[in-house]
Each structure stands twice: as structure tokens, then as C-alpha cells.
Amino acid sequence: MNRPNIVLIMTDQQRAGWTAANGFALDTMPFLDGLMSGGVRFQRAHTTSPLCVPARVSLLTGRYPSAHRVRQNSAAQHVLRGPDLVDVLRDAGYALHLAGKTHFHRKPGDFDTFAAPYWHDRGPAGAATADQARFEQWLGALDHSVSHEPTPFPLECQFPHRIVSDAISAIDRTPGDRPFFAWLSFPEPHNPYQVPEPYFSLFGPDQVPDRLAGPEGAARKGGTYSWLRKLIEEKRPGYDAEWRRYRANYCGMLRLIDDQLQRFFAHLRERGRDADTLVLFVADHGDYVGDYGLQRKGAGMPECLMRIPFAVTGPGVRAMDNRTDFVSLADLFPTVCDAIDVEIPPGVQGRSLWPLLTGAPYPAEEFASGYGERGFGGLSYDVDERPPLHFPYEGRTFDELNTVTQSGTTVMLRREQWKLLLDERGAGELYDLDADPAELDNRYDDPALAEVRAALTTDLARWMIRVRDDLPEAVYTLKRASHNWHQAGAEPVEAR
């Protein structure tokens, strides 16, 4: 069969909904919005975990962190998996190209070209120019903070420009009769929050939308929210005062990425390589962008961290704005399997979205709820504890993903407007997101919602059973449903 080319666009720490096509007040990504207007945008897409490596391993393996066992950023080498996305595409004859950030278990030799790793303050070993080397030194000196001045280096130093150039070079060297898989993995809009002109001035601090909640939100939520906010305030007193500049830079970073994507796809058209190309756009997780008086990520599982952009366009994909179905980052791999007509490997827990993308009937209940996980295990540290961290308590440097914020285990269930969280201590949270988008009014113990809580808890238990690992394979033969749907026998509905 003639298989489509595949372009996977992945950003790091991009919060869902921050483009004009999604109702955002500022036009941050006009090219991408236009590109995806011919495809499907999933408005209820969630990550499997609100931190980088567990989420990226889920994308590659189609498995949740409790199954692939990578529950913190330092554990990629411990992945437990069957064949993953790279294996399947290689076996299907694809040329495999990666340009950008890694943060997963795969190695350079697993790809035909490997222009990586790009980190948040440095590119691959050996910067190409003196300006790029000085730029990376300048990024390192920012120490993941917010720049209050335009970046004093040309656009060509920025990682999105360099990553797109790397991807273009790789595709140009791919024979025209061989399908390619190009993964553009941008480290942005992750911190440090910086952009050159014209992007620095494109969205002013006075233009950015107000936040859902400020520092009072962290105080009200307590726990790791309060712990993290106190830690950062000790290290960088008054840091929250820069939240509007932070948001403005963040929006500028999105436009910079967008302009580089436009350059990439213009090149594909010029070379005649854009036909029959399936394009997938996702992020690994979100960003507080100032909500709760916090920057980056770390504490809890709020929607600003758990929701991700997820859009698909290309041959066979029907244009629609899907606001109904809950989908996951783990669903990307089995969706690609269906799109190129290969069997979904054993051990994959995600569900193929291909029928949803192409307008085929599917069981509504299969996508009526969503699930996520957080934490590396053990017991959760209390707000007054100060265990050893992998960075000093003194000084400006910190990592929001640390022993305290990632301790314990929390699981999440989303259904309709409801969100249920349970942790290893038995503590529960229940939010009505329509009435309380900042998740400040915990109604877990509200007698008026006893039936809602019971139904959601049953749903959550079903998900926790569903993500029990089927690996390793042994003598018995697993019964598997088409598209990896557990609700395959339910009454199908037309794509919505």
C-alpha cells in the first residue's frame, strides 16, 4: 500500500486553548490554526502525566506511566514496553527523522537522522555558529527565568528555527519513493521565557488575558501548591509580579514556533513533499502560565497542566471541532497504526482515534471519560517537610519537579464537566469545571454530589483496571478488540 508521510509536531509545556481558533484573545498561532482547520481538533485531550518524560514515553509506547514504569523524568532507561512507534514505523518502511528535544528512551541510532538533543538552554553538542554559542550561554544565565528585554540574538539562533532547518535538511535527503516520519520536537514554549523582536513586542503585558487565580489560589489549594509557591518565593522574592511579562513572552514564543512551522510546510510544498502527509500536533503537557501564582508546572493535576492541544489533519481526515470525546496522548500511537494499516502491538493501552478522525461510527461510551496519573510513588510529603532535593534549598536555582511535588500517587478521572482525583492516602478532590474552572471549590464531601462521586469513582476503578499491564506475553492468548476499544460492543454513533 502507499503509506502517507507523517509529520509529528510536538511542543513542550504548551497549554491547551491558547490560540485564536480555540477562542483565545490573542492570535498566537495563525498558521497552525489555518492548517488544522481542515482536520480535527480535540478540545478534551489530556496528557497521561503532567511532566515531560512519562508523557513522551506514553506517546511512543501507547502506555500509561503505571504500565511503562517511567514515572519521573530520571527514569527513561527503565521503560517497560513492547514494540513502540519507532519500531512500527521502521518495520513499515519509513525513513525516521527526529529534530529537537528528546526526553524519552530512544537513542540516536534508532533514527535515520537525529538532530538532537535540544534542551531548554542548549542545542546539540557543538553550536554551528559563534552567535549560537553565545545565545546558549545567555540562555543558561537566565536560569529558566523570564527575560524582561528582547533576546539580543538573531532569530537564526532560536531553537525552533534551527530545528526546522534540521528537519528540512533530513527530508530533502530522503528518497522521494520512501515515506518519511518527521518528528519536530520543540523545547518551547517551556521556560526560560524569552523571544527576540518582533515577537517580544507582538503581545504586550497589558494585552494578555487575566489568570484564573493568583497566589491566593495556591494558598487555598494548599499541599504541594503552597509548598512550591513558598519555595520559589524564598528563592526569587517577588517573582509572581512578572506574571504578565511571562504570559506575553509565552505568547510570543508560540508565534515564533508558528512562523517556523509555516517555513517548514512552505518548503515541503516547494519540493512537492506535502502531498499525502498526515500531520499530528500535540504537546506533552501544559503550563500554569501564572495561574496559582506559579510558573512552569509541578504541583497537582489542574487542567492547565493536564489538558493539551491535540489536532490532526491530512488524507482521509474529516474537518471538525470535537468538543465531546476525551482523548489521550497515549492514543496517538495506535491511531498511527490504524492510519497506516498495521496491527496495534501487544501492550498498547491507548485507543485508535482513526474512526473519529475519518467520520466512521464509533461507540460514544469509549470516549466518554478520560484518565491520567501523577507521582513517582511512596507517600506524599506534607507541606511542612523539607526532605533532600536534587538541588539546594539555598540560592535561585530550583526544579519544580522534585522529591516533594512528585511524591505519592494521584489518579484522575474526567467525565462531562466533572473531575475526580484520588491519592494514595485516600484523599479525594471533586470539581465541577463548568462552575469552577480554577478547581478551588473541592466538593468531594458535598452530600449533594454523593451519587455523582460514586459514579465517577466506579469509572475511575474501571480505568485503573483497564491500565493493568498485559505485558509480558506468555502462553494464554489475549482477546483484543478492534482499534483497542474496550467498548467495541456498545451501540456506535456517528463521528461528532
The percent of residues in the chain predicted with pLDDT above 70, rounded, is 98
pLDDT in the model for residue 128:
76
Is the pLDDT at 495 greater than 80? The verdict is: no
pLDDT in the model for residue 489:
55
pLDDT in the model for residue 496:
44
The 10s digit of each residue's pLDDT in 142-156 is 999 999 999 999 999
pLDDT in the model for residue 488:
57
The 10s digit of each residue's pLDDT in 51-78 is 999 999 999 999 999 999 999 999 999 9
Is the pLDDT at 289 greater than 50? The verdict is: yes
pLDDT in the model for residue 379:
97
Is the pLDDT at 404 greater than 60? The verdict is: yes
pLDDT (average), residues 248-262: 98
- Confidence band of 125 (pLDDT split at 50, 70, 90): confident
pLDDT (average), residues 348-358: 98
Distances (CA, A) of 372 to 66, 69, 289, 409: 10, 14, 21, 11
Dihedral through CA 34, CA 39, CA 44, CA 45, nearest 10? Answer: -90
Average pLDDT of the residues of the chain: 96
pLDDT in the model for residue 487:
80
pTM for the whole structure: 0.96
Specify the residue for cell string 519507532. 86
Is the pLDDT at 292 greater than 60? The verdict is: yes
Q: Domains for the chain: give ranges and CATH numbers.
A: 5-369+470-493 (3.40.720.10)
